[in-house]
Chain A
Amino acid sequence: MRDQPEQQAPPVQRLRIRYAKRGRLRFTSHRDFSRAFERAIFRARVPMAYSSGFNPHPRISYAGAAPTGAASEAEYVEIGLAEVQDPEVVRRALEESLPDGLDVVDVVDVVEAAGGSLADLLEASHWLLDLEVDPEQARSAVEAFLAAESVSVQRMTKKGLREFDCRAAVVALSAEPREGGARLDLVLRHGVPSVRPDDVLAGLASVGGLTTGGAPLLTRLSQGPLDPGTGEIGDPLRMRG
């Protein structure tokens, strides 16, 4: 008979990592990223803590991943280590092990990053949406959208076609001209149902008649705790107090 696998020790240190998804690697899906990340961890010889069981997994938890095809400057993942490491050393090792376009921005010890679980800290996101549309049209669509009490949109989900309001989650929205079109600046509160930037685009189409030609380029600039007063998004890795 086979012995039961030995129990693995709990992690001695937790690190929170901010990474970016840039350029063509923005087409990396979340599943693709998690595989790539596990391999990078192994190549970088980061001393990971493992889960117990017959098939131990490195302790990695992901939070709030951007949709496939969206670029992001602010994705977050937390890892559990079996040995205490200097976060800066881990940052450099991971940066070298990940392909260009999946870039490690910041690594912080959880003890220093105050307040709650990573998922709890990621309350809202700041997005840029680059569209190939007339800036004036975009501006008027944004005005109509903001003036509306609620904006109902549909999206195909795993549970079928869902209808929900995409207006309430929008904390701020504005339109500026850019070369070849317009840029929307959007702050979205996370919640249930989760509203994504493309839902807001669908809302702009329905209340403002804005049709976004081609494929809009979505970029998440930041995500973190939302200051309800100012609408500002804080750094979830560097909280004060």
Chain B
Amino acid sequence: MSASANVHPSVVPQSVFPRLEPRLPSVSKPIQYVGGELNSTVKDWDCGAATSEGETVRWALMYPDAYEVGLPNQGVQILYEVLNERDWIVAERTYAVWPDMERVLREGDAHGPIPQFTVDSHRPVRAFDLFGVSFSTELGYTNMLNAVDLAGIPLHAVDRGDDDPIVLAGGHAAFNPEPIADFVDAAVLGDGEEVVLAISEVVREWKAEGRPGGRDEVLRRLAVSGGVYVPRFYDVAYAEDGTIEAVVPNRPGIPFRVRKHTLMDLDAWPYPAKPLVPLAETVHERFSVEIFRGCTRGCRFCQAGMITRPVRERSIRTIGAMVENGIRKSGFEEVGLLSLSSADHTEIGEVATDLADRYEGTNVSLSLPSTRVDAFNITLANEFSRNGRRSGLTFAPEGGSERMRRVINKMVTEEDLIRTVAAAYSHGWRQVKLYFMCGLPTETDEDVLAIADLAKRVIAKGREVSGRNDIRCTVSIGGFVPKPHTPFQWAAQLDPETTDERLKKLRDVVREDKRFGRAIGFRYHDGKPGAIEGLLSRGDRRVGAVIEQVWRDGGRFDGWSEHFSYERWVGSAEKALAGTGVDLDWYTTREREYDEVLPWDHLDSGLDKDWLWADWEDALAAADGSDVEVEDCRWTPCYDCGVCPTMGTDIQIGPTGQRLLPLSVV
């Protein structure tokens, strides 16, 4: 700490844009680096000086992927807005730069390398108090390392000083941040809206006091709250067999477990209210409204459904207001109603009808990511496509055989599916997309080949009810990756070779079929990226060395098949894990036992570990023919997953009985 601890004449960091500008014509899609998006917010660096506390807290928010993927991300947009609404907080955004821009930054100019910058004001990321990174997927880890390095922030948290920002991870992957524990100062689990403000307040107070105790003290203050995980305050001990012996706090006052955050009353948080509209083309050219958060369908593979409990709905009135505000502010004419299973909203029928009525005769189109297989979905889809195109419908039976679907607790019968697609094809839909997973626990070749039978029956039924031959069915298959905080967290992941063999057998069976083969499209990815995702999902702190090695070898953009290199990951894992007694297979294809300390056991998602284990055992029993089903606690009594009592939360659902009124014409 400097002697002048109480005086912080804030030096306004200079924009790097003048240094960037001459180089922009040389990089691809330069517009992604210039900012200036509609509804973006540029605030005075010292905006907090005029407030009673006199301090400003500054966040650089990152979605660790390319701008075209990162900009539409709802999580970052929401936090950006929530933070910037405070008159003492500055929040700006930064994204992963493409390799051509990375070269420009590292090469730099007469002043040296150009640092990682925010797109809003082109300020160096290192000048901010906090660097928050939102991870939807573990495959963004190398991009975070790259951004930290480009920012001029020491890669390892232990090497950072008082002038470096607090590097903070959030998003679903942060429910097991152990693989990046060496690189982040802190991690936050669950909904971010309230906790980013709480963190900001802690930082503001610490700054206003003259930063007593430096970096260590502000991290301690965050950690003792019980809602921010600071990896450095926990020691991990390993047993001889390579498993974790214990994870324990290494200083007084640090809680043994860190809780996730749950936002209650979504109606009070109608964000994004100022949706960002980029000039560059992005992956989602639409305005999205999250109609509820959480899901209790109980699909055992689904981490999102497990870690976001309980279900909290937005009311029909709030949804209506958010849709209208969003399209007027953004100019998007396509609206997506988001959630983990949108047809499950208690008033989804009313929402669909009333919104379709409101925008009848305009070019506003509504879409619903349909996942559930039931005929009601078709009614909804018809309503949503009243004005728009009628191209395709997506259903996710996930498992090819009935047995498989019981294992994963996705209770859809073949008859349900056939009835549903019959309704779709008879209503004029031409294409149905079916989503499955390969590599689920206890799966055999037969389970996967059952996908082909299902697809053939779908086409046969479609031809029968539509009387046409041009109908299609696309089968899309993803490799299953066991995730923390799910009943499958103990499961062995299928190795990539077997995954690829199974998919090849399936593809051959579909192709060989003379009657239906041509009507069935087949989309899948090879099993290799899934194996690495598995390593990163269930890894512990030792995996950090692997990530670092991959990054040092040039690994970036691992979520992009053209950038992902399995060989690089395998080679790096061998190198970095040498001498630890554990390896890639140990992390992925190994089944865990009840007693094993899992790397994320000290991170509390609210789920009772014994309930998860019992559900895992139920899955295995279902595999052998047992008839156990976990129903949805929205409609059946509580089955004690543990979340509500642990977190002090409750299910928040309608119906409200309200309807949307027609909009008055301007």
Contacts and interface: CB of A to CB of B under 8 A. Distances in A.
Q: A and B from one assembly?
A: yes
Interface of A: 1-2, 24-25, 27-29, 31-33, 35-36, 38-43, 45, 50, 54-56, 68-69, 97, 99-101, 214-215
Interface in B617-666: 666
A35 B24 CA distance: 21
B571 interface: no
B503 to A, nearest CB: 34
Given A97-B331, A99-B36, A214-B22, 15 more contacts: A2-B390, A24-B35, A27-B24, A31-B281, A32-B281, A35-B285, A40-B331, A41-B331, A42-B331, A42-B333, A42-B363, A69-B25, A99-B37, A100-B36, A215-B24
B666 A99 contact: no
Contact of A24 (B36, B281, B328, B428): B36
Task: Select the residue from B30, B285, B332, B428 with max chain A CB neighbours within 10 A.
Answer: B30
Task: Select the residue from A38, A39, A97, A214 with max chain B CB neighbours within 10 A.
Answer: A39
17 contacts: A2-B428, A24-B17, A24-B21, A24-B34, A24-B35, A27-B33, A27-B34, A29-B31, A32-B279, A42-B363, A54-B389, A55-B389, A68-B30, A99-B36, A99-B37, A215-B22, A215-B23
A158 B605 CA distance: 53
B273 to A, nearest CB: 15
**Range of interface residues on B (Cβ < 8 Å):** 20 to 34
A155 to B, nearest CB: 15
A42 B37 CA distance: 17
- A-B residue pairs, 7 tightest by C-beta: A39-B331, A43-B331, A27-B30, A24-B34, A215-B22, A69-B25, A32-B279
B16 to A, nearest CB: 12
Contacts of B329: 43
Contacts of A2: 390, 428
Given A24-B34, A42-B333, A1 B428 contact: yes
Contacts of A214: 22
B330 interface: yes
Contacts of B22: 214-215
A27 B403 CA distance: 55
Interface in B285-316: 285
B23 to A, nearest CB: 7
Contact of A25 (B25, B36, B331): B36
B509 interface: no
Contacts of B389: 54-55
A32 B331 contact: no
A32 B285 CA distance: 12
Contacts of B444: none
B237 interface: no
B31 A27 contact: yes
Contacts of A39: 38, 277, 330-332
A102 to B, nearest CB: 8
Contacts of B26: 215
A171 to B, nearest CB: 25
B121 to A, nearest CB: 11
Contacts of A100: 36
B280 interface: yes
Contacts of B38: 36, 39, 99
Interface in B382-440: 389-390, 428
B666 A101 contact: no
Nearest to A97: B331
B29 interface: yes
Contact of B279 (A25, A42, A55): A25
B31 A50 contact: no
A16 B30 CA distance: 28
Contacts of B330: 39, 43
A47 to B, nearest CB: 11
Nearest to B24: A27
Interface in B1-53: 17, 21-26, 29-31, 33-38
Nearest to B388: A55
Contacts of A1: 428
B279 A99 contact: yes
Nearest to B327: A42
B334 to A, nearest CB: 11
Contacts of A101: 36
B363 to A, nearest CB: 7
Task: Select the residue from B24, B31, B389 with max chain A CB neighbours within 10 A.
Answer: B31
A205 to B, nearest CB: 16
B216 to A, nearest CB: 40
A217 to B, nearest CB: 9
A133 to B, nearest CB: 14
Nearest to B427: A2
Contacts of B21: 24, 215
Contact of A69 (B17, B30, B332, B666): B30
A25 B38 CA distance: 12
Contacts of A29: 29, 31
Given A1-B428, A2-B428, A215-B24, A25 B34 contact: yes
Nearest to B30: A27
Nearest to B27: A27
B281 A50 contact: no
B332 to A, nearest CB: 7
Contacts of B333: 42
Contacts of A32: 31, 279-281
Contacts of B23: 215
Contacts of B17: 24
A127 to B, nearest CB: 16
Contacts of A43: 328-331
A25 B32 CA distance: 10
Interface string B328-372: 111111000000000000000000000000000001000000000
A84 B617 CA distance: 70
Nearest to A25: B36
